[in-house]
Amino acid sequence: MKIRMNPFVVISTLITTLMCLFSLTLAGCDFIGEGDDNNLDGNPNQLYPVKIDGKWGYINGLGRITIIPQYDRGRDFAEGLAAVQLDARWGFVSPEENEVVVPVYQDVGNFAEGLAFVQAEGINAQYGFIDRTGNTVIDHLYVTARGFSEGLAAVRLDTRWGYINSRGEQVITPSYTVARPFSEGLAAVEGLQGWFYINKNGDVAIEPTLTVQRLGDFKEGLAPFETEDGWGYINTRGEPVIAPRFTQAEPFSEGLAVIETEEGGFEFIDKAGEIVVFGEFNEAQAFAEGMAAVRINNDWTFVSKATGRVAIERNFDGAEGFDGGLAQVFFGDLNDNPRIGYIDRAGEYVWFPMN
């Protein structure tokens, strides 16, 4: 199931890439930060997707191209493989061998616990799972599927969701209209009687005492839940520990969670429900590696968990959280070919934004 890159495609793309880099040098752009690799925070062994002249490739944490841009789309690496799209079909690229699992699938998920869901070609094609070599290990039997989490994957047969193990054995009967991934030993599901949590045996583990409209995933011992009064948080015993009063609530990360107030602003709360990062933001993302992307008016930047203040002076049209010491940032229309770059924790460009 593996093929080597077409050398003619590689050479052609390399020429395009070199021409682009040469033009950037002439323009004096800050292409890979300040030029001192020792001062860059990025992990040199981690790869990040970038786009040059409309084609996707990958750089390492020092801003060096490691996989030449040649794909129509490229996702983040997960478990050593990244999903890439070529001519409307998806496959996977490996940094070690610069080879791909043949792009023949209509849809794929990221690898998790050694497996990735894939959708075969054709009308009404079903979903199955492949391993890292591209071999089908769970047959294409499902209308749709989610990735594996804590040893189980949610799959849908006809109109109902259930769970399978990594051998493809059905361990929880398809009987739910919605099935979330397992997290901290529990999964939120919706059945005929409403929302509740199940354990890995399929038994009801938490049946909320309040009438809930939705349940979220457990992270750091708490999970968001929605009632007619708004969003709050429950613990693993099913006890509401933060009363429902928010318009929106995200799972906890690094001890804090993003919530939306009734006034439409976004803030960060701790596990006591207290606001700990002051200043309402127009949008906010979860903390990762001690930093969180936030939007103030029309501009995105980052706040520090340590200080609760803006930590990077640069502004962006869009931003994602830090991963491996770098954060992806955007300029231009985010829905129409934005320019994509990467910054380190000091706000210096490791990869100058381009498309």
Amino acid identity of 291? M
Largest CA distance in the chain: 65
Those residues with Cβ within 8 angstroms of residue 48's Cβ, 6 or more apart along the chain or in another chain = 42, 58, 59, 60, 61, 76, 324, 326, 328, 342, 351
More confident residue, 155 or 102: 155
- Using an 8 Å Cβ cutoff, are 287 and 305 in contact? yes
Residue 126, classified by CB atoms within 10 Å of its CB into exposed (0-12), middle (13-18) or buried (19+), is middle
What local confidence, expressed as pLDDT, does residue 16 receive? 43
**246 C-beta neighbours (distance < 10 Å), count:** 25
**58 C-beta neighbours (distance < 10 Å), count:** 23
82-107: string of b/e by CB count within 10 Å (b at 16+)? bbbbbeebbbbbbbeeebbbebebee
Q: Determine how β-strand 116-119 pairs with β-strand 136-142.
A: unpaired
At residue 255 the predicted structure's pLDDT band, cuts being 50, 70 and 90, is very high
* Position 100 pLDDT exceeds 80: no
What local confidence, expressed as pLDDT, does residue 27 receive? 29
User: pLDDT digits over 288-336, tens only?
Assistant: 999 999 999 999 999 999 999 999 999 999 999 999 999 999 999 888 8
Most confident of 98-112, 148-162, 270-284: 148-162
What local confidence, expressed as pLDDT, does residue 256 receive? 97
What local confidence, expressed as pLDDT, does residue 10 receive? 40
At residue 41 the predicted structure's pLDDT band, cuts being 50, 70 and 90, is low
Average confidence (pLDDT) over 63-85: 95
User: What percent of the chain stands above pLDDT 90?
Assistant: 79
What local confidence, expressed as pLDDT, does residue 9 receive? 37
Average confidence (pLDDT) over 183-195: 96
What local confidence, expressed as pLDDT, does residue 96 receive? 79
Average confidence (pLDDT) over 248-273: 96
What local confidence, expressed as pLDDT, does residue 280 receive? 79
At residue 30 the predicted structure's pLDDT band, cuts being 50, 70 and 90, is very low
At residue 209 the predicted structure's pLDDT band, cuts being 50, 70 and 90, is confident
What local confidence, expressed as pLDDT, does residue 25 receive? 39
Residue with tokens 């991934």: 181
Q: Is the pTM above the cut of 0.95?
A: no
Tokens describing residue 315: 């502004």
Report the mean per-residue pLDDT for the chain.
89
